[in-house]
Structure 1
């Protein structure tokens, strides 16, 4: 699918010369290694050329957002109530959303030391495997119907309402399931980053887009063939890390025939992840404020900034 037309597109060389070029990169190589997701590739040069200008752009949106909140309160004759600024990050499985989200959390925390910046993924809003099996949709895990979207919308409403101590179910990629009685707590952040494949989607039987809650949104993009390659590379890493852990979901595949395991992974990509990408994830791309387009080796070669 061609890139949407309602964006201004910039090369990496153009983007790095925008505002923010003189801002210091406050991320170290060790921190970057901890941030990078499995099999993702990112460098300090990427931080300086892509993410430092992006951080400055988010600051622009943040200032305008706070001004609008103040003006609306003044219009109503009310005092300004704390209202978190929400950033949504979407894109395919294995495209590198998690790395982008964690890096932005670190950069914004460093540049806004007096503000609380938290991060959450929508994986915790998946129905547990037992419920997916009960509904007969385990084979469609990751598709819109496999998420408790009403719970996700309620959560976003609670965040925007500045409610304290909101519990979010925790998902484990090691056991491939939502963990019972395990939660992340979102506690009145000034900025909340929400990362997931479904953050720009319209929930089934709902009239509210998840993206309606976001004040800035990013879509991490790449050709499907490249994402498949990264997905399979990540699968190999998951097999290697599961070898010493019999409780790991990937352990049976790790100790079995590796070629058969990769045959299974390719089939999952075709039947689940690619289908989900084409039918439900990619069509939401034109709702994002910014598109980070990747090419080989996870290199960002093009940035799209929405015109309207």
Structure 2
């Protein structure tokens, strides 16, 4: 789907019939499908078209458990899998945002150079109309994720060819400092198995639309 069409569909959540004062759009899909890039593009373009309070970006990746907690839990080798996220904290943030408090809400993100979550990288102002949030497991029927979905008005599934996703994921790991062999081993042993979990949610009843997004109009 083209970016302009997706922008129109997203903005209908706040301006269309039955639109809310603040709506939450969720983007699910496997690792490497382009969810975070699309979310940022949508937010930037909606702000350009409708003003600075039109939209704000809220990534699930800010709720990665720290490396210290992963080590404590024995989950370092499964980083990025469902149990390595604070899903309850994420659901609580979405609830807070949907309630539209009259003050700024600070939002964490994941820093790939540090390989750690960082606090307060993003902010959602009180006048923001649309929150765009994205994460692998938003459509999955797994413990904790249904609580997060309660605060998502519409959920989209962003897909991409498996070979393209694999290429992007290897590039991501190389950029993070892994060797070629280490990057490919991580992707095959961790990212692609995680993708299989996500792919099982593609046809979930919670998903409003499924599409490929190339980043080009």
TM-score (norm 2): 0.85
Q: Larger C-alpha radius of gyration, 1 or 2?
A: 1
Is contact 1:200–1:209 with CA below 8 Å preserved after alignment? no
Q: Cα gap change, 1:210/1:106 in structure 2, threshold over 3 Å: closer, same or farther?
A: same
After TM superposition, the structure 1 = structure 2 runs for residues 205-244 of structure 1, keeping only pairs within 5 Å, are: 206=144, 208-236=146-174, 238=175
Correspondence for 2:190: 272
Structure 1 CA distance, aligned partners of 2:74 and 2:61?
19
Q: Which runs of 5+ in 2 are unaligned?
A: none
Q: Tell me the SS of whatever aligns to 2:157.
A: strand
Residue 225 of structure 1 deviates from its aligned partner by 2.4
Q: Tell me the SS of whatever aligns to 2:199.
A: helix
After TM superposition, the structure 1 = structure 2 runs for residues 32-71 of structure 1, keeping only pairs within 5 Å, are: 50-62=2-14, 63-66=16-19
Residue 207 of structure 1 deviates from its aligned partner by 7.7
Structure 2 CA distance, aligned partners of 1:299 and 1:155?
28
Q: Cα gap change, 1:169/1:106 in structure 2, threshold over 3 Å: closer, same or farther?
A: closer
Q: Tell me the SS of whatever aligns to 1:170.
A: strand
After TM superposition, the structure 1 = structure 2 runs for residues 1-308 of structure 1, keeping only pairs within 5 Å, are: 50-62=2-14, 63-66=16-19, 83-113=21-51, 115-163=53-101, 164-179=103-118, 182-188=120-126, 189-204=128-143, 206=144, 208-236=146-174, 238=175, 250=177, 253=178, 261-279=179-197, 281-286=198-203, 287-293=206-212, 298=214
Q: Which runs of 5+ in 1 are unaligned?
A: 1-11, 13-49, 70-82, 239-248, 254-260, 302-308
Query: What's the CA shift string for 1:149-202, capped at 9, x where partnerless?
Result: 1101111110111123323333211011123x5543323221111022122234
Correspondence for 1:73: none
Is contact 1:200–1:210 with CA below 8 Å preserved after alignment? no
Q: Cα gap change, 1:269/1:285 in structure 2, threshold over 3 Å: closer, same or farther?
A: same
Higher relative contact order (CA 8 A, sep 6+): 2
Query: What's the CA shift string for 1:111-159, capped at 9, x where partnerless?
Result: 3227431112111111111011111111111111111111011111101
Structure 2 CA distance, aligned partners of 1:207 and 1:262?
34
How many residues align? The count is: 212
Q: Cα gap change, 1:54/1:159 in structure 2, threshold over 3 Å: closer, same or farther?
A: same
Is contact 2:105–2:125 with CA below 8 Å preserved after alignment? yes
